[in-house]
Amino acid sequence: MNNPATAILPPAGIGDHKPANQAVLDWVHEVELLTQPENIFWCDGSERENDFLISESLKQEVLIKLNQKKAPRSYLHRSNPNDVARVEQFTFICTPTKAEAGPTNNWSEPGETYSKLHGLLKGAMRGRTMFVVPYIMGPPDSPLTKIGFEITDSKYVVLSMRIMTRMGEIAVKRLGSDPKAEWNKGVHSLLDVNPERRFICHFPQDNAIISVGSGYGGNVLLSKKCLALRIGSYLARKQGWLAEHMLILGVESPEGKKHYVAAAFPSACGKTNFAMLIPPKHFAGWKVTTVGDDIAWMQIRDGRLWAVNPENGYFGVVPGTSYKSNPNAMKSIERDTLYTNVALTDDSDVWWEGKDGPPPPHAIDWRGNDWTPDSKEKAAHPNSRFATPMRNNPVLDPHVEDGDGVPISAIIFGGRRSDTMPLVFQAFDWEHGTYVGSTMASETTAAAAGAVGKVRRDPMAMLPFCGYNIGDYFRHWLETGKRLTKPPLIFHVNWFRKSADGKFLWPGFGDNMRVLKWIIDRCEGRVGATESPIGHIPRMQDLDLDELGGVTPNQMRELLNVSAEEWQKEVSDHAKFFESLGGVVPDELEKQRKNLAGRFKS
């Protein structure tokens, strides 16, 4: 295995873009004294700097050049095989008290944690280059936008941050020279990429993050899960806004009426696919556009929720992505893409399970070994990823850069559930919707290390990302609802329900437009539903099912069915989940649970 962190020596004019802010200079100096790098590389985000870093990364085999005809300006990175997913068990919220981190987070005392991490970081960058990456999260003129600096000894991190954030000069300018300005301090070192020395630690009260021992995106692109969600959610509560694990999409009717929708699904449950949905032929004239595919920052204005996407790129799961499942994602990753842990074909193209066409007769798998279609191993890791700039998306929403954000008409929760959860239902109101989000569950995926396919409660898809006490987070949702005079309607969807013989009942992908249309029609008040104990459910005639091949009326009934037996178990699982949180759940949600249980009795 090559050493992914060997120092590089930039020529004059590259890597010397020091910011004027003394607080940043002091902090970088402190980290330099601690980690003792060979040199410091101040990033400015320019094309020239990027070209230089790519050429050095190719020399050091951190990147593999792809066939530039088939995948222009695209590269492949292989991570250490022990380091392929987020590590929730080694992720910590380091608040002064355990209660502030709450029952769903690993907690670690800040003083002790800083000492432990400083011990690990001592001399850790010897022989390495220390990169300083300035970035902003959010459109340049949004009041929600945050500034961050990430120190890292990984070139792969720098190259990924340039895709995923607005990186370089733009952040330095925005920060200016005020030593009291708010900005996030992120320190990352690969160390020796050893799972025993892998810790992702957040210090919300200091607006600081330290991540060591990993090179995997979700653990090390500190802008994303660490700042935009964990620290972001903490700041959002303090400052009265919402930081959520949600895609944002626009949906325009043939008459030109547009709505925006935000949807929280857990990792690897189809947020990117939904955000780039192409309506089926039958929906001629309907258009879906993408604002974001993973994170929404939302604030209240004029009694409504307005959302921005803080990111500048997509870090998506590759396997299963094809021209059939998500043509817009395929077009987005045709060029300018940094792939991680996919397979390399003999003509230097990339391949993964689920890509269009037949598998190649031979490839090099994600570990760097020979692979053929007869191999037992997967060619691409199930959590292999692409990082691609959002400007490559052919259906990018024209308002993605608007600082005010886009007005949200509906919020959708959803998970991967083989049973119990109908295709779609609408919550009765904001408080009930908050309950639906708080009790959400999904079968686990390869996005996080650990077992796959186990049902776990994942409130608002934020279980791994809420940077403070989950009870206070629920309270913040309830309080936000009280401040909204025109709250979004709240829905729950499940694309993954299976029949008794284990087959998916719903085709998903483009046909999810049928569900989205019902949601929009509900927002417009022009379609019916039936009232069930769990919420409003469409009757068959309320959904546009014309030209939907392969789903029989019986299967449709199964998809929309609310089984009292399954739901009694579900509600008792809600009770167990709330109980496991040790008394932090707000009374309003306990009351919602009792009401739900009662509706199944009467």
Give the C-alpha separation, 14 to 356, whole Å: 41
Smallest gap, in angstroms, from Cβ of residue 296 to ligand OXD?
A: 13
For ligand OXD, the binding residues in 263-282 under the rule CB under 6 A are: 267
Sequence-separated (6 or more) residues with CB below 8 Å from residue 578: 585, 589, 590, 593
Instruction: Give the interface size with ligand OXD as a residue count (CB under 6 A).
Output: 6
Binding at 4: pick from Mn ion, ligand OXD, none (beta carbon under 5-8 Å per type): none
For ligand OXD, the binding residues in 239-268 under the rule CB under 6 A are: 267
CB burial of 507-531 (b: ≥16 within 10 Å; e: otherwise) equals ebbbbbbbbbbbbbbbbeeebebee
DSSP 16: B
Q: Which of 43, 269, 466, 523 is catalytic?
A: 269
Closest CA to 202 of 180, 185, 179, 189: 185
Asked whether 41 and 129 are in contact (CB, 8 A), the reply is yes
DSSP 33: H
**Single-letter amino acid code for the residue at 262:** A
353 token code pair:
């399970």
Q: Residue 315, interface with ligand OXD (CB under 6 A)?
A: yes
- Tell me how many degrees the CA angle 296-300-306 measures, rounded to the nearest 5: 40
- Told to judge if 94 belongs to the known catalytic residues of this protein, a careful annotator would answer no
Smallest gap, in angstroms, from Cβ of residue 245 to Mn ion?
A: 6
Closest to ligand OXD by CB, 40 vs 269, is 269
What CA–CA distances, in Å, run from 497 to 5, 368, 420, 423, 505? Answer: 45, 36, 8, 7, 6
Closest to Mn ion by CB, 21 vs 104, is 104
Smallest gap, in angstroms, from Cβ of residue 447 to ligand OXD?
A: 4
For ligand OXD, the binding residues in 74-93 under the rule CB under 6 A are: 86
- Tell me how many degrees the CA angle 117-101-439 measures, rounded to the nearest 5: 130
Q: What is the CA radius of gyration of the chain?
A: 24
* Residue 255 CB burial class (10 angstroms; 0-12, 13-18, ≥19): exposed
Among 49, 153, 294, 558, binds ligand OXD (CB under 6 A): 294
Closest to ligand OXD by CB, 267 vs 512, is 267
Closest to ligand OXD by CB, 61 vs 443, is 443
Among 117, 121, 447, 515, binds ligand OXD (CB under 6 A): 447
Q: How many residues are there in the chain?
A: 602
Binding at 86: pick from Mn ion, ligand OXD, none (beta carbon under 5-8 Å per type): ligand OXD
- CA 355 to mean position of chain CA atoms: 22
Binding at 544: pick from Mn ion, ligand OXD, none (beta carbon under 5-8 Å per type): none
Residue nearest to Mn ion according to CB distances in the complex = 294
Binding at 468: pick from Mn ion, ligand OXD, none (beta carbon under 5-8 Å per type): none
Among 139, 218, 471, 510, binds ligand OXD (CB under 6 A): 218
Smallest gap, in angstroms, from Cβ of residue 480 to ligand OXD?
A: 22
Going 93 to 484 to 413 to 388, the CA torsion angle's sign is negative
Tokens 């029989």 correspond to: 552
For ligand OXD, the binding residues in 418-437 under the rule CB under 6 A are: none
Strand, coil or helix: 595: helix
Closest to ligand OXD by CB, 294 vs 544, is 294
Closest to ligand OXD by CB, 131 vs 315, is 315
Smallest gap, in angstroms, from Cβ of residue 445 to ligand OXD?
A: 9
DSSP 602: -
Binding at 49: pick from Mn ion, ligand OXD, none (beta carbon under 5-8 Å per type): none
Smallest gap, in angstroms, from Cβ of residue 270 to ligand OXD?
A: 12
Give the C-alpha separation, 164 to 391, whole Å: 11
Asked whether 159 and 135 are in contact (CB, 8 A), the reply is no
Pairing relationship of beta strands 406-414 and 75-77 according to DSSP bridges? unpaired
Which residues here bind Mn ion, judged by CB under 5 A? 267, 294
Strands of the 75-77 sheet, one edge to the other: 64-65, 75-77, 338-340, 385-389, 313-317
Q: Residue 230, interface with ligand OXD (CB under 6 A)?
A: no
Closest to ligand OXD by CB, 296 vs 523, is 296
Smallest gap, in angstroms, from Cβ of residue 276 to Mn ion?
A: 15
Closest to ligand OXD by CB, 120 vs 228, is 228
537 token code pair:
């459910």
Binding at 447: pick from Mn ion, ligand OXD, none (beta carbon under 5-8 Å per type): ligand OXD
Smallest gap, in angstroms, from Cβ of residue 267 to ligand OXD?
A: 3
Q: Residue 339, interface with ligand OXD (CB under 6 A)?
A: no
Smallest gap, in angstroms, from Cβ of residue 466 to ligand OXD?
A: 13
Binding at 342: pick from ligand OXD, Mn ion, none (beta carbon under 5-8 Å per type): none
Closest to ligand OXD by CB, 447 vs 527, is 447
Tokens 């392929």 correspond to: 84
Binding at 218: pick from ligand OXD, Mn ion, none (beta carbon under 5-8 Å per type): ligand OXD
Closest CA to 535 of 428, 387, 377: 428
> Which are the catalytic amino acids?
269
Footprint of ligand OXD (CB under 6 A): 86, 218, 267, 294, 315, 447
